[in-house]
Structure 1
Amino acid sequence: MTRKHLQKLIIGLLIGLLIGTAQAARITDKLLAGLYDEPDATTAPIRVVPSDTPLERLEKQGDFTKVRLGDGTEGWVESRFITDEKPARIMLLELQVKNSELQQKLREANKELSALGQTETDANDTQPDPEIAELKRQLADAKAEIDLLKREVTPPAAQPDKENEKLKQQVLSLEQALEASRQEAKAALEQAKQIPAVLPAQPAKSAELVQMEQTNLRLQQQLDQIAQIVRTEHSYTDESPAMVEQSGIRLNAWHLPVILLALLLSFIGGVAFKNYRLAKRYGGFRI
């Protein structure tokens, strides 16, 4: 085998990587399409066709296309579910197989070319071969297409981490706000306890004052419950996505901050209303 024959063989192998045969129609990626007896989606499908199922178009009527499957079954499928292009994952696998075969054949051809041991070179050999240069360019394009398909079929993993970190920051902020509200509630409770000491002596506590003290106690208990929820949810955000899915809990990243904020606002509103009622009844504090 001469040097020219080997060069032609290598060129043919690389060009074969980029030339594909005509493909039959297929069901689009990640889909289950119904196969109907009639072109009517309101009827029950006779079969469910998964994605990447090869089929043959027979005729088209409105939004439906009559197709024939590989086992000879005929029926109607919605035209929007049919595509002439292969799914990206299938194309990636085929390109990887072709690229591996091509690399193996190139290595074998290079071994045969080196075994010839030709030491004579003519003037044309000193110049770059335009066919080889074009061949290298096509090979680089094929590799770039493989990398692009890999990025399309591989989901990004950094986005959940960013959302998890953002959720942790929101939980931390709410926890700090709850601690401040706790201090405010304690101060309001002490203030309510001092009211009998600064007011004129009364025979007994009024029913309204007793009710306010009970309300204040309930608010304090609710605050403790909110703080416990915050600590529990804070540790919950560190769990893996797999553990969350196994537990059966489905929460979006914005659910927890909204719930905690609503509880916090209701607590602050209760404290403010209690102070307002106390001030209105006893006319404020006079020193």
Structure 2
Amino acid sequence: MGYPLVSEQPSPDSAAEQQAPNPERESPTRDYKEPDRKQSGKNSADGGNCGVWMIIGCLGVTLTVALFAFVGGIIYLVSTSDNAPTESTPTPISADDPADTDETDDAGEVDDSETEVADDPAESETHQDVVSFGEGTHTVGEDISPGIYYADEAEDFCYFERISGFSGEFEDVIANQIVDGRAIVEILESDAGFTSERCGEWRSQPGQIRDEPSAPFEEGIYLVGDEIEPGTWRAEGGGENCYWARLTGFTSVLDDVVANEFGNPEPVVEISESDTGFESESCGTWHRSDD
């Protein structure tokens, strides 16, 4: 601490007084009180602790903000990926790559099945169109439909008749027939009913057709062209009850008969291309005359 300078020259006495210490006069330095070091250290410690806690608090706030930002970013990405449309990049298919070929085949498997389904209905429709019925009396238009029917497994003395009514009287019979072997009949729309006995199952499609029209055949009714080849035929092994008939239809009426013969055990017949069918009973086996 400084003091003001005196402009006058001090006297020796005054100088001595000034130089001699005055116990009553307090030295400026005595007013200075040394700080309490313990208290000062405590304050420093409190200040340091406060600084540490402030740093920890700042770090906690920073970490919390960062955590919320991270979680928010994840939620945004998930919601964006869920709502964003998915774009698929087409993979080029190489004809030389077996794996691609397999994938192509798998992908086209539905189309193949659809093609098969498109082809199958024609075959299934043919099978569905096949109508069959058994023995007994059937009403035409209700039980059975008009058309040509085949009895491939008819027994001996298969009997059937087309009828115009159900009185049971002879006047109701339009046409009737007894057949040994395979039978064919055409039922007309004007018929009221149809009756059969010992003829087995009747089908709207033949269950079996002769594969070789020129091969020998025995008794029954056959389709000319599909089952019997037109030409000259000779029968062997028959008896005096041999009966044959060339037919223009299968309604079993007399008008269907083009020509017939009874009682010749070894007949020879010229079957024409214009014939629809041929019937044989008790005539044995028929062969082509040029065989």
Give TM-score, length-normalised by structure 2.
Answer: 0.20
- As a proportion of its length, which structure holds more helix? 1
Structure with greater contact order relative to length (CA < 8 Å, sep ≥ 6): 1
Q: Which structure has the larger Rg?
A: 2
